[in-house]
Amino acid sequence: MNKAPMALLSAKLACLTIATMASLATMEAKANWVGLRNRNGILQLKTQREFDYFALALQWPATYCRRSSHCCSSNACCRGSNAPTEFTIHGLWPDYNDGSWPACCTQKRFNEKEISTLLDALEKYWPSLSCSSPSTCHGEKHGTCSSPVTGDEYNYFLTTLNLYFKYNVTRVLYEAGYMPSNREKYPLGGIISAIQNAFHATPLVVCRNGALEELRLCFYKNFEPRDCVTEATQNDMGSSSSSCPSYISLPEFVSRGKFLSAVVT
């Protein structure tokens, strides 16, 4: 065979290989690979499209701890006078604009050693309010899907802590006159307005039995505040601003004693 056509064919194959690699790189940048097991137990790789925005979920410990079933050393509700009395972090969650969300985006296991320098802050501001442990995704269900923006495990937790400190919901509500009380009820609209005035974005409020349980702040992927997507309320198991009455409580934390083995009612 003539060497000239062979050289031309080799050049075309090289170009095709480069184009294919570029295409795969583009796909990988836009989607994470997710390992899912089918009914036969066979591990399959599927692509996961990148999320649209972040939701910083903050929980009100007094409401959560009211329904804590029992105490253990990891449950911050059982720390007595050292139990959290301000909003704590529930998570930084990647979400889609349609109200759904990604989960389990990588197979990398959570490694506590990677965040050893953050553990004291996490224990205080991102404590567990129960005795249960994550049963899926190697211990980190949502954080793995943040990696296209936040990077590695350490930066994910550091980014979340920085957002928590910068957008201090507890301080905003206290300055607006919304203090913890087991007697007072506050207008839901007033609480939302206080957040809107402080951060120029509308939060999502979650209630349980008329008490504020969770408040979510939403952010673009550059971490500028944005309104929380109202469509999410239709897909979040009824936990939304619509779950709150017009007047809600911000209960005080009632100390249960350290590691007291009792049912919290």
Average pLDDT over every residue of 151-159: 94
Q: What is the mean pLDDT of residues 171-183?
A: 97
Residue 44 has pLDDT above 70, yes or no: no
Confidence of residue 30 (pLDDT cuts 50, 70, 90): very low
Average pLDDT, the chain: 77
* 20 or 3, higher pLDDT: 3
Q: Which domains does the chain have, with CATH numbers?
A: 53-233+241-258 (3.90.730.10)
pLDDT of residue 240: 52
Rounded to whole angstroms, the maximal C-alpha distance in the chain is 93
Mean pLDDT across the stretch 150-175?
Answer: 96
Q: What is the per-residue pLDDT across 223-249, written as a single tens digit (0 to 9) for each?
A: 999 999 754 444 443 345 668 999 999
Minimum mean pLDDT range among 31-40, 52-61, 119-128, 176-185: 31-40
Is 66 a residue whose pLDDT tops 80? yes
Looking at residue 255, its pLDDT comes to 62
Q: What mean pLDDT comes out for the span 185-194?
A: 97
pLDDT of residue 104: 78
Q: Taking 80 as the threshold, does the pLDDT of residue 163 lie above it?
A: yes
Residue 170 has pLDDT above 90, yes or no: yes
pLDDT tens figures, 200-222: 999 999 999 999 999 999 999 99
Q: Provide the pLDDT for residue 131.
A: 80
Q: Is the dihedral of CA 28, 31, 35, 36 positive or negative?
A: negative
**98-140: per-residue pLDDT in tens?**
888 888 787 677 888 999 999 999 999 999 888 876 556 655 5
So what's the pLDDT on residue 158? Answer: 97
Residue 198: CA count within 13 A, CB half-sphere: 19
pLDDT surpasses 50 at 143: yes
User: pLDDT at position 26, please?
Assistant: 39
